[in-house]
Amino acid sequence: MAEQRVVPMFSYEDVGRAADWIAKAFGFEETGRWSDEGGRVTHVNMELDGGLIMLGYPSSDYQSPRHHAEICDQARAWSQTPYVIDGVHVSVDDIDAHYEQAKAAGATILSELENNTGIGQRQYRAEDLEGHRWMFAQPLLRLVSVPGTGTKL
């Protein structure tokens, strides 16, 4: 497998709690966790099927998207759309099972499962516990007609 050259990095107010939640809701596995002298989790590496993401705590001044939308009219307005404003697209093997897992863990579902034939994927959008947005998708099967048989493969 080729080296992953683009790695999404997310900031969280509570990195440890976010990592635990992402593992439960979205199925990522933690591969490394670092804390400061006071015990605050400052960085977590996570993987899903070989794809790496990084979670970090930038400073006490940082506000998550959810927290920011609580105090800023413009950020609140951006939150009204179900689309991924800033976030990540993740390909999964079983979108239906993934959707159910995320929903059961309390993910805010921004758009229900749908077949997006325009780009050839079955997808849903979700928001995590601090308001970061994620799109999960699985390629749609392409059916090909076998000439003269009436069969589709």
- The whole-number mean pLDDT for each consecutive block of 10 residues of the chain, a chain of 153 residues, reads 85 97 98 97 97 96 92 90 86 96 96 94 96 95 64 51
Token digits for 10?
């997310």
Domain that holds residue 91: 9-145
* pLDDT at residue 86, as a whole number: 80
In a domain, 139, yes or no: yes
* pLDDT at residue 141, as a whole number: 80
* pLDDT at residue 3, as a whole number: 81
In a domain, 1, yes or no: no
Q: How many domains does the chain have?
A: 1
* pLDDT at residue 8, as a whole number: 94
- Which are the contacts of 147, defined by CB distance < 8 A and separation ≥ 6? none
Greatest pairwise CA separation for the chain in angstroms? 71
In a domain, 4, yes or no: no
What is the CATH classification number for the domain harbouring 61? 3.10.180.10
* pLDDT at residue 83, as a whole number: 81
In a domain, 153, yes or no: no
In a domain, 19, yes or no: yes
In a domain, 2, yes or no: no
In angstroms, how far is CA 16 from the centroid of its own chain? Answer: 16
In a domain, 59, yes or no: yes
